[in-house]
Amino acid sequence: MKNMSTTLEIPEGSKATIQGKVIDGKNYLVVEIEERKSEFKDGDFVVLDDGWVSIYKGAGESRDTISDYTGCWISGIDRFFEGTDSRIMDNSIRYATDKEKQILLDHLAKCGYEWDGEKLVEVLREGDMAIFWDDNTEDAIISVCKRLNDNGSYVDHLGLCWDNAIKWDGTKEQYEKVLRGELK
């Protein structure tokens, strides 16, 4: 018998097992591929089996990991992760309960952040530089935040009320994205 070599490509995140089997009296190597399918979508609040509640970003690099935007321990350990990370799952991942979701949201607020449904953003506070606009982003201005009104509108240091505001990161690029309506 001559030496043979075969390369198989498997989908990222899938699990492959190789077994020797005898079929019709001949020896074969059989490759079984179990594709990892996720019921979770970007932005879902999930809990990993080790007690980590996080905001799901997608499947991780291996079968036993996920990517997340941020997360914290349910047990109250005062640790918070800011930014995308890869988390190891021992056995399970599930949707977070409302209580578990609130633990993460409260922790984010304590650290000066909030989840806007698409990304992690810093909470706008009095004295922060911010970009303000109403319904027309082309009229956006950069100013100092004075306060947030009870009705959800923002007030700048000149006393002008605005429907929308985001913390300014100090870049011209962010301001131009607001003017074009790309950031809201």
For the chain, the domain total comes to: 2
User: Does residue 46 sit in helix, strand or coil?
Assistant: strand
What pLDDT is attached to residue 134? 93
Average pLDDT for 32-41: 71
Beta sheet of 164-167, edge-to-edge order: 161-162, 154-156, 141-148, 129-133, 164-167
Q: How far apart are alpha carbons 164 and 131 in whole angstroms?
A: 8
Percent of the chain at pLDDT > 90 equals 30
End-to-end CA distance of the chain: 66
Is residue 86 in a domain?
A: yes
Tell me: the pLDDT tens digits for 121-175?
778 889 999 999 999 999 999 999 999 888 888 999 999 999 999 889 899 999 9
Question: From CA 111, how far away is CA 151, in angstroms rounded?
Answer: 24
Domain boundary among 100, 122, 144: 122
Task: Kindly state whether residues 49 and 101 are assigned to the same domain.
Answer: yes
Contact 53, 101 (CB under 8 A): yes
Q: Does residue 54 belong to any structural domain of this protein?
A: yes
In a domain, 135, yes or no: yes
At residue 91, the pLDDT reads: 61
Q: How confident is the model at residue 39 (pLDDT cuts 50, 70, 90)?
A: confident
The segment with the largest mean pLDDT, out of 30-34, 134-138, 180-184, is 134-138
Q: Among 17, 9, 64, which residue's Cα sits nearest to residue 36?
A: 64
Which of the four pLDDT bands, split at 50, 70 and 90, describes residue 64?
confident
Same domain, 114 and 133: no
The reported pTM is 0.56
